[in-house]
Structure 1
Amino acid sequence: MSPAAPSLLARLADGAVHSGETLAAEFGVSRAAIGKQIARLRAQGWPVEARRGAGYHLPPGWQPLERAAIETAPGYAAAAPESLALLDAVDSTSLYLERGPAPPSGRTRLCIAEHQQAGRGRQGRSWYSAPGASITFSAVRTFDRSPAELGALGLAVGVALCECLASLGLAGIGLKWPNDLLHGGRKLGGILVELRGEAAGATRVTVGVGINYGDPGTDTGTATAGLWSIGGDALPGRSRLAGTLMGAVTGALDEFALRGFGAFRTRWDSFDLLAGRAVRVWTGEGAVDGTARGIADNGALLFEDDHGRRQSLHSAEVTIRARV
């Protein structure tokens, strides 16, 4: 009988190289059974490496999620989420939460998955997360606020994520309005906020977060970065980091419920990667070149086109352009 995949994964992720013979003895199975399970893990997307004459291991940064490490991470318990679903594979962590009931007032439910097969990004884009390569989770909460007041919630979540990563020594991570985390001009992660009206005027909000952890490879042609390339061996383990980030997002939802975007407005400026930059924006009327001038108190992008005309944009695609 083959060893359980989670147990074998945990063994391979400890940084050491393990021979097939040693693994077989440890799990009480044949070397052939170990080989079959290694093949299954590779088929699932885990990059198990083999060193001739030595054995198997996972490359640095590829670690399976562990509930105990998540729930004991700094800030997680203090944030007091109502529940956490930890899944091996799911179509989308946000869809998983949306299929369930709304949480009680003032509480947040979380879902994190090892492998997300049909995640969603802005403008209908997909967010695929291979096993072990990212930290992909969602949070759902019911707010007694109108959808208009919740328009800047994604910006608040971005601030909380950047502050959390900075507190862990991961410097140089900033925010590209409205929902991208970047490092060195490369995309590190994204945020998607979805709203749904509930009874009695309440609004159910689902916040999806996807952050590259290991080597992200390519993202539909976009230059990407991973947390491991930034922090290396100094980075907390993937599960511990995931718990800390989920605690930060839960705390941000609590703070937003009490104080609105005003609690985050000036903090956004510390991470704003667009302010003062030459940009091109795409709206329903086409593409326009100009300069980003920061954000308004409601989270809208302040934009001045090349003819000096100013406007506030609540929804647009933005790219940074080189000045000529």
Structure 2
Amino acid sequence: MKRAVANTPHPLTFGLLRLLADGEFHSGQVMARQLGLSRASVHNALQGVGEFGLDLHRVRGRGYRLARPLHWLDAAAIKKQLADAGEQVQLEILDHATSTNAVLLQRTALGAPSGSVVAAEWQSAGRGRLGRTWHAALGEALTFSVLRRFACGLGALSGLSLAVGVAVLRALHELGVRDVRLKWPNDILLPEGKLAGILLEAQGDMLGPSAVVIGIGLNLRLTEAARAAIDQPAGELAAVPLSERSRVLGVLLQHLLRVLDEFAAQGFGALRAEWERNHAFRQREIRLSLPDGTTVAGVVRGVTDEGALCVETAAGERVFHTGEISLRGC
């Protein structure tokens, strides 16, 4: 999840963090010489790295050291997981962005091709559903967005966020994570809490064509500071080493591309049964919090082919659509 800060990172900071990524001590003088800087510039550029969730040690006579190594995303390692599907992907990895969705939405309006992917090592204003902030330390999450263009109109895209959830589920299963569940409409859960979230933002006409930017944030590790900033239980992908961030992203993209093809051909209906089997609230009593402040209690009966939630209430079965509804277990 992502961390909101007001300041843009110093332009030299990420170059220095790459030198420090091994977790060993590095002399400020040596790093200054490597990058053609003054020692004062090194000092200034490393001020405030705590905003990224990093713990930087400074020891006179030894230099600087990160408390834990950083594992940067590697485009070649990501593409390796995609095999032939890699030809569909135009991947860009940014050191930092306000949010990958914001970056890719701008490029979508300028004609970026379907299959464009933007991943960021760190986001200063990552967004979740209902305007929530997504919190994560640098190098300890995956935050990325994918552009998919459709010939159909926006009205035919109902259920897409649930389909994306199926793709994430399949990828996690391939990575050996079995105790994962889906939460309507766009969360991925572990027993201890939320592991990942999905945010869809669309452009286009009701009759077509349309374009959707699919943003995904997934926790690999959670620092104590990140946990303290999150307003709900959260989980992390502790079973997978941080050194495999690139492989995890590649596997996620591989399954996402496949599911998007399935959705384009058959809609969410073809994925509905798989989604329902893995719903964390299946046949459970729940309470829906609505945007107007009211709540609805009932039992989850499933979802429709359009991805709407079916709830058996005291007044009979009702259908709720994605967007403005929060779901909490009773």
Q: Is the structural similarity TM-score above 0.5? A: yes
Alignment of 1:309 onto 2:316:
yes
Identity %: 32
- 1:66 aligns with one of 64, 74, 82: 74
Aligned to 1:131: 138
- 1:175-186 aligned within 5 A: 175-186=182-193
Q: Distance in 2 between matches of 1:115 and 1:34?
A: 22
Q: Distance in 2 between matches of 1:248 and 1:27?
A: 40
- 1:281 aligns with one of 288, 304, 308: 288
Match of 1:239, SS state, is helix
- 1:28-177 aligned within 5 A: 36=43, 39-40=46-47, 42-43=49-50, 45-50=52-57, 56-59=65-68, 62-72=70-80, 74-75=81-82, 77-100=84-107, 101-104=110-113, 107-177=114-184
Q: Distance in 2 between matches of 1:195 and 1:19?
A: 46
Match of 2:177, SS state, is coil
Q: Distance in 1 between matches of 2:216 and 2:153?
A: 22
Residues 1:282 and 1:133: Cα distance change in structure 2 (over 3 Å): same
Q: Deviations over 1:12-44 (max 9, x none)?
A: 444x54454997699598995797378347255
Alignment of 1:225 onto 2:240:
no
Match of 1:273, SS state, is coil
Q: Deviations over 1:34-75 (max 9, x none)?
A: 973783472552514539798724426x42223233222x13
- Once the two structures are TM-superposed, the CA of residue 195 in structure 1 deviates from its matched residue by 1.9
- 1:296 aligns with one of 271, 294, 304: 304
Aligned to 2:250: 243
Residues 1:238 and 1:38: Cα distance change in structure 2 (over 3 Å): farther
Match of 2:171, SS state, is helix
The code of the aligned residue for 1:89 comes to H
Structure 1's unaligned 5+ residue stretches are: none
Q: Is the 8 A contact 1:140 1:204 kept in 2?
A: yes
Q: Is the 8 A contact 1:280 1:318 kept in 2?
A: yes
Q: Distance in 1 between matches of 2:95 and 2:312?
A: 46
- Once the two structures are TM-superposed, the CA of residue 132 in structure 1 deviates from its matched residue by 1.7
**Worse overlay, 130-139 or 49-58:** 49-58
- Once the two structures are TM-superposed, the CA of residue 163 in structure 1 deviates from its matched residue by 0.9
The code of the aligned residue for 2:246 comes to S
Query: Taking structure 1 as the reference length, what is the TM-score of the superposition?
Result: 0.82
Aligned to 2:7: none
Alignment of 1:269 onto 2:269:
no
Query: Taking structure 2 as the reference length, what is the TM-score of the superposition?
Result: 0.80
Q: Deviations over 1:276-315 (max 9, x none)?
A: 122100235610111112212221111012x261111113
Match of 1:118, SS state, is coil
Q: Distance in 2 between matches of 1:245 and 1:192?
A: 15
Match of 2:154, SS state, is coil
Q: Deviations over 1:240-294 (max 9, x none)?
A: 2223222322332222112221332122133210111221002356101111122
Q: Distance in 2 between matches of 1:28 and 1:124?
A: 39
RMSD: 3.2
Aligned to 1:206: 213
**Worse overlay, 216-225 or 38-47:** 38-47
* Runs ≥4 residues deviating over 6 A: 28-31, 51-55
Match of 1:131, SS state, is coil
The code of the aligned residue for 1:124 comes to G
Residues 1:232 and 1:93: Cα distance change in structure 2 (over 3 Å): closer
